[in-house]
């Protein structure tokens, strides 16, 4: 049984407090929404119902307001609007009203982000991807998603664009989302800092490009690095992937299964040292053969100071073939 407390204001039902498992769709029925002529607050409520995410940013809420005022209809039903164009006053009034009605709740420690009321479980990874559209789950967190590690990360790792690039992509997204209509009265895209959520620490790794680096998880607001990119991240930043020994363990157990994806990723997106390090592990540790791996030996440089683990000091122990300092005690 659902229990809720409600008050009436000009014949419009507003939920003040509730203890309920009902969806927003059930609530719209309870509210007795006129399906022929919609009030703007009811159109907002139904727009929230259709989102496949548990949180919403002020920018995303602004999109909803903008689109409703531009189209002036929702699902072919006209909307009763006071103004012809959305402005900041319109946005703020509707946001505050939606919060007061209990359908949005501000998140603690993350500004300008709100929990949608009927989304009970907030998965940290989905929250990150909902807030930052240029992000994807990566490193040890992605390894866990793909099932190639037995570690249980205490930190959520995600990758996102470097600040300058983020701003460039954000401006392009604003133009697209608002059909070239930009006004100081509409919320701008904000690069929200996420350091902790649900008592879990969250760590961002900045990247130069995010296109082609992730997969979208069906029916979720979740993006995860591809399996090839995940192995690439293990080579570039082993410290965020359980350490170099764990990285080598994962390569030993799973590289044969994913060798084509790994080689394709490193060949197309890796630099010379990425190819040397990956080539060494695949060749001398995993004993795998692939035409492209042999081709990478041309990037080996004799007399250099290249190291297997970038975070560890140089050692005079080498792979002759790959001209690489094996500067860690590998447990193989």
Give 2's pLDDT tier (boundaries 50, 70, 90).
very low
Query: Average of pLDDT values for 188-204?
Result: 90
Cβ neighbourhood burial of 45 (10 Å; 0-12, 13-18, 19+): buried
Query: Average of pLDDT values for 174-193?
Result: 78
pLDDT at 179: 78
Domain regions of the chain by residue span: 226-325
Percent of the chain residues topping a pLDDT of 70: 87
Phi, psi of 241, rounded to the nearest 5 degrees:
-125, 25
3-state secondary structure of 169: helix
The DSSP result for 46-113, as a single string, is HHHHT-SSSEEEHHHHHHHHHHHHHH-EETTEEEE-S-SS--HHHHHHHHHHHHHTTSEEEPTTSTTE
Give 257's pLDDT tier (boundaries 50, 70, 90).
very high
pLDDT at 35: 53
The length of the chain, given as a count of residues: 332
Q: Poorest-confidence range of 21-35, 117-131, 220-234?
A: 21-35
Query: Average of pLDDT values for 18-36?
Result: 56
What crossing angle do the helices spanning 272-280 and 244-269 adopt, rounded to 10°? 130
38 pairs with which residues across the strands? 79
pLDDT at 266: 98
Question: Can you give the pTM of this predicted structure?
Answer: 0.86
Query: Average of pLDDT values for 68-90?
Result: 90
Q: Poorest-confidence range of 32-36, 78-82, 151-155, 271-275?
A: 32-36
Identify which of 157, 329, 148 has the alpha carbon closest to the alpha carbon of residue 245.
329
């Amino acid at each position: 049984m659902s229990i809720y407390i409600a008050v009436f204001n000009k014949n419009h039902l507003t939920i003040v407090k509730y203890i309920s498992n009902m969806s927003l769709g059930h609530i719209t029925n309870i509210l007795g929404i006129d399906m022929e002529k919609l009030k703007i607050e009811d159109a907002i409520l139904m727009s929230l119902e259709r989102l496949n995410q548990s949180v919403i940013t002020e920018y995303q809420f602004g999109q909803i307001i903008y689109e409703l005022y531009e189209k002036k209809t929702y699902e072919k039903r006209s909307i009763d609007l006071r103004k012809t164009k959305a402005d900041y006053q319109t946005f703020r009034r509707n946001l505050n009203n939606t919060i007061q009605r209990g359908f949005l709740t501000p998140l603690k420690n993350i500004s300008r982000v709100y929990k949608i009321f009927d989304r009970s479980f907030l998965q940290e990874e989905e929250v990150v991807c909902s807030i930052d559209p240029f992000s994807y789950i990566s490193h040890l967190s992605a390894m866990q998603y793909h099932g190639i590690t037995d570690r249980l990360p205490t930190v959520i790792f995600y990758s996102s664009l470097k600040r300058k690039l983020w701003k460039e992509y954000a401006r392009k997204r604003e133009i697209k989302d608002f059909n070239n209509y930009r006004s100081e009265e509409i919320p701008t895209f904000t690069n929200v800092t996420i350091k902790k959520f649900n008592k879990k620490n969250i760590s961002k790794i900045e990247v130069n490009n995010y296109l082609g680096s992730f997969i979208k998880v069906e029916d979720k607001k979740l993006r995860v690095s591809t399996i090839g990119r995940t192995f690439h991240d293990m080579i570039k930043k082993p410290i965020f992937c359980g350490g170099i020994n764990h990285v080598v363990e994962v390569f030993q157990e799973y590289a044969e299964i994913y060798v084509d994806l790994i080689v394709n990723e490193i060949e197309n997106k890796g630099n010379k040292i990425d190819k040397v390090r990956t080539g060494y592990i695949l060749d001398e540790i995993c004993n795998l053969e692939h035409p492209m791996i042999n081709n990478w030996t041309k990037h080996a440089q004799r007399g250099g100071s290249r190291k297997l683990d970038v975070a560890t000091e140089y050692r005079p122990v080498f792979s002759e073939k790959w001209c690489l300092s094996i500067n860690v005690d590998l447990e193989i």
